[in-house]
Structure 1
Amino acid sequence: MQLYLMRHGEAGYNAHSDRERVLTEVGRYQTELMSNWLARSVTEFDLVLVSPYLRAQQTWQEVSKHFPEPRKWLVMDDLIPSGEPSVAVDTLLAYADHFKADKVLVIAHMPLLGYMVSELVAGVEPPLFATSGLTLIDKHGESASLTWQQTPHTVS
């Protein structure tokens, strides 16, 4: 299984709550850059799991313009910035198994994403994710490896 973990695009701070923050124009642009880059190597996703926070939902709206409709996409309440990494990973893997998904996209937040990488890949310290940044984890059975990490500043 290939797990594509993505941080939401850059968001503004002018909102009533953290949950309601919206993408900036830079956030939309960086998400488009990453989506274009990703679409060169990935044709579709079987499963997409997205945080309930507005900026993550808007990131998915931007990404979805570059890919066909996934077999299944869900809002996953565990994918919030203060979410419990082990619960988020267990839920993600259960959904992937249930939907027999081979290519899974997760759109969420820091610090959760970094801790999820550490939960999935033994011995890896939690990496930082730039806004709109992507990490690919290859998971086969009980073993998993971090294949690459990309940011809008490293893609062309």
Structure 2
Amino acid sequence: MRLWILRHGEAQHRARTDAERELTANGREEVLSSAAQLLGQPLRWIIASPYVRAQQTAELVRQSLGFAEPVVTVPWLTPESDPRKVLENLDLYAADDVLLVSHQPLVGSLIGLAVHGSLQQAEPMHTASLAELEADFPLAGAMELSRVRHPV
């Protein structure tokens, strides 16, 4: 399994609720820059948080890659989701190459758990940072972090 984890692009500071915050113009540019790193990758799934900024990020990536399938929206990718539950849910996709689009602190904690087996070693992830992990199965401490790309 190859797993890419993308933090949403820069979002507005204010909205009625956190879930309703939208990407800024700069955030859209950040996302397109990160999406370019995925060109030619054999993605099978794009899975995203239901929050507006993650949905916008996932849709920008989908369009820029010419990805035919719709974005899969799941409730287990919100900022405060449990990284252990995310790994459990990824079991369903273990045979495929997957892009997750989510938020901090989840993305950093998820990478730390997947690579180090600990929630105490979170990976710093800026807006639109893209991490690539590999493993046979999505298990805590069993995945290898191939690279992290931060937008410039």
TM-score, with length taken from structure 2: 0.88
SS in 2 for 1:11: coil
Q: Name the one with the larger strand percent.
A: 1
Partner residue in 2 for 1:126: 122
What does residue range 93-104 of structure 1 map to in structure 2 within 5 Å? 93-94=91-92, 96-97=93-94, 100-101=95-96, 103-104=97-98
Given that residues 46 and 72 in structure 1 are in contact (C-alpha distance below 8 angstroms), is that contact kept between their aligned partners in structure 2? no
Residue 114, structure 1, aligned to residue 108, structure 2: yes
1:92/1:123 Cα in 2 relative to 1: closer, same or farther (>3 Å)? closer
Structure 2 distance, partners of 1:20, 1:14, is 9
Partner Cα distance (1:52, 1:21) in 2: 11
How has the CA–CA distance of structure 1 residues 126 and 70 changed in structure 2, closer, same or farther, with 3 Å as cutoff?
farther
Report the RMSD for the aligned CA atoms in angstroms: 1.7
Which sections of structure 1, spanning at least 5 residues, go unmatched? none
Letter in 2 for 1:152: P
Q: Cα deviations across residues 63-122 of structure 1 (Å, max 9, x unaligned)? A: 11222335564111010111111011111222x04xx42x10000000001111122113
Paired position in structure 2 for 1:61: 59
Alpha-carbon distance in 1 for matches of 2:69, 2:56: 19
TM, length-normalised to structure 1: 0.86
Unaligned stretches of 5+ residues in structure 2: none
**In 2, Cα distance between the equivalents of 1:121 and 1:71?**
29
Residue identity over aligned pairs, in percent, reads 28
Of 135, 141, 150 in structure 1, the residue corresponding to residue 131 of structure 2 is 135
